[in-house]
């Protein structure tokens, strides 16, 4: 693979972006005024936070955007020295463009230490004439309140299937790929609202075959199929412990899944099954309990066996 498709197909303008239309519309309105407040983009990975920051910089500064835009990844440079050094040095310099400020983009800023965030709040106040800050994070609760109060917060959502389909079709047309509807559904299922993940899956599959099917996707990325998880759950509900246990072991060994991975697959499939809301609530509560035990260090296979046993006990109460 000579080129990373996630960079190749990263939108460069507002009009190219999909999936976050409400946020894009509000940011575009600010951009027309040639002025923005400090911004905080919060949301899951791969939904367009960094892309929107770059599109905003290109809208303001055109071809000279790199001279007026500082991008730092806070997971790499997370200490107080970064705020006192790199950020302050950039903030002291005035813009020479028509826009009277420059932009500092701090990606993954929820990785900043508390001390660095405290230093950042003072920098945001002292250099408000020279720079605007765009902060990006996955978990906004890890950002201290004084920093949040100095920003306009935009909360990004997972990209829905309709927007994901547009991206898949755009890539397929440009790369001359043939993707059927079932393969599209498989990409949407595996990516789970993450555009970056979807494009990476497409690149991996396209390296082997220009005709992409559902079978190719699950085989290449070695993901468990939803029907396998559904069969496992149904066997447990019907009281067939050993068959369900064997299915569980097979899924873990064949796909190399951890216990936490499998719990997430089971939880997701429970919500898609034709069960009453009360039943879904019971099964979800059990999944949450087992996940907590796994995080605390319990044996994966024993805990997953216990989950199957609990499903059987609930299922047996229906048959009585």
User: Contact, 47 vs 164, CB < 8 A?
Assistant: no
- Does the pTM of the predicted model rise above 0.85? no
- Most confidently modeled range among 73-77, 94-98, 113-117, 150-154: 150-154
Q: Compute the CA torsion angle 54, 60, 64, 69 (nearest 10 deg).
A: -50
Tokens of 181: 């509807």
pLDDT in tens, 240-267: 888 988 888 888 877 777 888 888 889 8
pLDDT of residue 196: 87
Q: Can you list the domains of the chain with their CATH numbers? A: 20-155 (3.40.50.300), 161-221 (1.10.8.60), 226-319 (1.20.272.10)
Per-residue confidence at 320, pLDDT binned at 50, 70, 90?
very low
Distance of CA 267 to the CA centre of its chain: 18
Mean pLDDT of the chain: 83
pLDDT in tens, 26-72: 888 888 888 888 899 998 888 888 888 888 888 888 888 888 888 88
What is residue 161's three-state secondary structure? helix
**Using CA atoms, how far apart are residues 256 and 222, in angstroms rounded to an integer?**
8
First to last CA, the chain: 58
pLDDT in tens, 100-113: 888 889 888 888 88
**Using CA atoms, how far apart are residues 198 and 234, in angstroms rounded to an integer?**
29
pLDDT at 193 over 60: yes
pLDDT in tens, 207-231: 888 888 888 788 777 777 888 888 8
pLDDT in tens, 148-161: 998 889 999 888 88
| Cα separations in angstroms, 21 against 64, 142, 159 | 26, 26, 10
Q: What percent of the chain has pLDDT over 90?
A: 7
Work out whether strand 39-42 and strand 211-212 pair parallel, antiparallel, or are unpaired.
unpaired
User: Contact, 59 vs 13, CB < 8 A?
Assistant: yes
Other C-beta atoms closer than 10 Å to the C-beta of 16 total 12
Kindly give, in sequence order, each residue whose CB lies less than 8 Å from that of residue 192, ignoring residues fewer than 6 positions away: 158
| Cα separations in angstroms, 88 against 66, 74, 101, 109, 126 | 18, 15, 14, 16, 10
Distance of CA 219 to the CA centre of its chain: 22
**Using CA atoms, how far apart are residues 274 and 280, in angstroms rounded to an integer?**
9
Closest CA to 109 of 154, 150, 79, 146: 79
């Amino acid at each position: 693979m000579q080129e990373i498709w996630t960079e190749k197909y990263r939108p460069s303008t507002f009009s190219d972006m999909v999936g976050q239309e409400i946020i894009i519309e509000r940011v575009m309105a600010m951009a027309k005024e040639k002025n923005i407040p400090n911004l905080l983009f919060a949301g899951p990975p791969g939904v367009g936070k960094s892309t929107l920051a770059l599109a905003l910089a290109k809208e303001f500064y055109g071809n000279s955007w790199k001279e007026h835009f500082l991008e730092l990844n806070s997971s790499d440079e997370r200490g107080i020295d970064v705020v006192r050094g790199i950020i302050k040095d950039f903030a002291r310099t005035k813009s020479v463009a028509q826009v009277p400020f420059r932009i500092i983009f701090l990606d993954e800023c929820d990785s900043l230490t508390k001390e660095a965030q405290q230093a950042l709040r003072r920098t945001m106040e002292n250099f408000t004439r020279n720079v605007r800050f765009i902060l990006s994070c996955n978990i906004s609760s890890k950002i201290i309140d004084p920093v949040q109060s100095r920003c306009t917060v935009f909360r990004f959502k997972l990209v829905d299937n309709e927007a994901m389909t547009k991206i898949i079709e755009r890539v397929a047309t440009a790369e001359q790929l043939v993707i059927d509807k079932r393969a599209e559904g498989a990409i949407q299922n595996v990516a789970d609202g993450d555009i970056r993940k979807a494009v990476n899956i497409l690149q991996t599959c396209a390296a082997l075959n220009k005709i992409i099917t559902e079978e190719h996707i699950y085989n290449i990325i070695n993901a468990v199929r939803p029907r396998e998880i559904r069969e496992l759950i149904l066997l447990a509900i019907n009281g067939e412990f050993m068959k369900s246990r064997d299915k569980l072991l097979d899924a873990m060994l064949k796909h190399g899944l951890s216990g936490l991975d499998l719990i997430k697959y089971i939880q997701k499939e429970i919500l898609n099954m034709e069960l009453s809301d009360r039943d879904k609530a019971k099964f979800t509560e059990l999944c949450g309990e087992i996940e907590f035990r796994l995080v605390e260090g319990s044996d994966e296979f024993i805990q997953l066996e216990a989950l199957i046993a609990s499903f059987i006990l609930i299922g047996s109460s229906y048959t009585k």
